[in-house]
Structure 1
Amino acid sequence: MPNAIQMAAYLWASPYTIIGIAIGLILGGRFQRVDGVIEIHGPRIAWLLRRMIVPAQALTFGHVVFGQNQAALASTRLHERVHVRQYERWGPLFVPMYLLFSAILFLRGRDGYRENPFEIEAYDAEESE
């Protein structure tokens, strides 16, 4: 049973979680729950992830992680769980802040993805494991 702090974190991130679940249902994804996070994969999700501006193996929305397939979800789990915790900290502000950091970096001629502080934190967690 989640404690009050965990419940608050789920609630704070819930706008994006709800959007993620809706997208997964619309795209006919396969759902699984792993450590309190909903992981969704399927052919339509894989197709979209491959065609993003920065193609991705996985993408996080609140407590939902989309993956191209189960192998991609497993291999990116550590990285994507960092993003889940970031959604828990930032809640509805996460996406605007992520995009703001990316835009500022891009306008300065830098890598808006790899130099984004949110991605740096996620990649650092992968490397320390």
Structure 2
Amino acid sequence: MHRATFLAGLVWASPNSALGLVAGLVGLPFGARASWRPREMALVFQRWPWGPGGAITLGNVILHTGADLDEACMTYAHRAGECEAPPIRMSDHERAHVLQYMVLGPLFLPLYLACGGVSVRNRFERAADRYALTGDGWWPWRD
């Protein structure tokens, strides 16, 4: 990614990143650990102590309840019984959301919620799974 484009995306996503940063910092006294992941273009808080498990991305911040963001997980469609899909890396799925935030900025959250929130029907989640499976197609209006 070109440096100017990357910086513009960081700035555009910064309101959401600020929310993630606050949430991540609150988790530090409870065992969360922060590290910059260049490949994900995100500050990752591992062992974030709240939530049902998995990860949530807010701008260029990823809150992950586990110890390793590179752990294998199933796609939304596979978990919903809609298809048989091989496991994906959670880091690849969350990177797709980082890219979506960098393009959509403050529009991401309202659009994500309007598309169904956390569900297999959500085009943002389908696109993130497609990207994690193939390395291509993170844009939610591709299909």
Q: Same fold (TM over 0.5)?
A: yes
Choose the corresponding residue for 2:64, options 55, 64, 67: 67
More helix by share: 1
Counterpart of 2:131, as a letter, is A
User: Pairwise mapping of residues 1-129 of structure 1 onto structure 2 (< 5 A)?
Assistant: 3-28=3-28, 29-35=32-38, 36-42=41-47, 45-46=48-49, 48-50=50-52, 56-71=53-68, 73-75=69-71, 76-102=90-116, 113-128=119-134
Counterpart of 2:8, as a letter, is A
Structure 1 alignment gaps of length 5 or more: 51-55, 104-111
Structure 1 outlier segments of 4+, above 4 Å: none
How far off is 1:127 after superposition?
2.0
Two-structure CA RMSD over aligned residues (Å): 1.6
What's the TM-score, normalizing by structure 1? Answer: 0.79
Identity of aligned residues (%): 30
Counterpart of 1:11, as a letter, is V
1:28-54 Cα offsets, whole Å, 9 max, x none, are 121001113100023xx34x221xxxx
**How many aligned positions are there?**
111
How far off is 1:60 after superposition?
0.3
How far off is 1:82 after superposition?
0.1
Counterpart of 1:8, as a letter, is A
